[in-house]
Amino acid sequence: MDATVGAATKALDTLKALPTWLLAGLSISFFAIWLWPPFLLALPEPARSVVPVALFVTSVLTLCNVAALLLGHAAARREHSLERDRERLLQLYRPLETLFLTRHITVSTGRASPYLRHRLANAWEALHTGGRKLRRLKRAARAIIDKQESSSAEVEYGGDFPLHQIIELVRKNARHARPELLDLVSRADRSNYEEYDRVLLTDAEYALFEHIDGEHRRLSKRVG
């Protein structure tokens, strides 16, 4: 009995040491032998009863090995992603966020149609404007729920919006910058030429600030 257990243990250890591709080949071979009678009958009588057991063991080991490989690959990808986000945080977004430590941005929001009577009046006006009937009805429906909110932002104190410093940081760490950040920086820079006489922040500058702050918080939480 002990000899049988020892032999089974050695055989199992040998199977565990086999690579996944070889285990898969053995599983397929045992399955073919068990499924096709000519193969099974070609084996000696004592060996025939071993085939189902061998098929079960090799199949389980193959599945376990495949699962281990997939889990290992997923863990490696997650670690690589975390390391990449850690680099983005430390090299790009944390320096960007520190530019706003002493600059305080204030946002003001106003509503042109805060009350229902205002929105009903807007809907009535939309119904009597030019265009097809269906289009007028759509405009009126939108007007009923549209409070016509608008917002403006400004650097209340601490200096001007640090666009030039942001551009320099992004240029120095371009390998960590995704297209979204590059597009926001480009729009903010362009808005300075198109709206050069504005005292308040442009919409593009405020969108850039929101992205920097939001991405810094997200990366900080992700990498701990």
Digits of tens for pLDDT over the chain (224 positions)? 454 545 556 655 666 666 777 778 778 887 777 777 776 666 677 777 777 777 777 788 888 888 888 888 888 888 888 999 999 999 999 999 999 988 888 877 656 676 777 777 777 777 777 777 777 777 778 877 776 665 667 877 767 889 999 999 999 999 999 999 999 999 999 988 766 556 678 888 989 999 999 999 999 999 87
In degrees, to the nearest 5, what angle opens at C-alpha 36 toward C-alphas 32 and 39? 85
Identify the pLDDT of residue 20: 75
Which residues does 116 contact at the CB level (< 8 Å), separation at least 6?
none
Identify the pLDDT of residue 31: 79
Identify the pLDDT of residue 220: 93
Closest by CA to 205, choosing from 156, 155, 149, 159, is 155
Identify the pLDDT of residue 12: 56
Alpha-helical runs (H) found in 19-102: 20-35, 37-42, 45-48, 50-88, 94-98
Identify the pLDDT of residue 15: 60
| Three-state secondary structure call for residue 104 | strand
Identify the pLDDT of residue 1: 46
